Amino acid sequence: MQQTDWHDIEKHRFVREVAGALDRLLRQSHVQRIVIVAPPRTLADLRRSFSPAIEKRIVAEIAKDLTGFPIDDISQYLTA
């Protein structure tokens, strides 16, 4: 029997929460375009969790882990 990977389970739960938060944001605002930035594996999980409303507003996806980057560096990376 395989041991439960609690860290992996938590990652999947987090991805579902992010997708749900984006859905709520879309219902409460007039967001027309979304850019998704996430590490490659997380991005793949997000794609499976997005509703059609989110999918149609995504204009770009960047498969990169920007965790820990200073905001100025993130801004420069996204505008490049």
Q: Please report whether residue 61 resides in a domain.
A: yes
Q: The domain containing residue 38 runs over which residues?
A: 6-79
**CB neighbourhood size of 19 (10 A):** 17
Q: Please report whether residue 57 resides in a domain.
A: yes
Q: Please report whether residue 50 resides in a domain.
A: yes
pLDDT at 59 over 70: yes
**pTM metric for this prediction:** 0.80
At 1-50, the pLDDT tens digits run 778 888 888 988 999 999 999 999 999 998 999 999 999 999 999 999 99
Q: Please report whether residue 17 resides in a domain.
A: yes
Phi, psi of 60 (to 5 degrees): -160, 150
Q: Please report whether residue 29 resides in a domain.
A: yes
Structure-model confidence comparison of residues 4 and 58, the more confident one? 58
Per-residue pLDDT at 3: 85
Per-residue pLDDT at 22: 94
Per-residue pLDDT at 80: 60
Indicate the number of domains in the chain: 1
pLDDT at 63 over 80: yes
Q: Please report whether residue 16 resides in a domain.
A: yes
Q: Please report whether residue 27 resides in a domain.
A: yes
Q: Please report whether residue 1 resides in a domain.
A: no
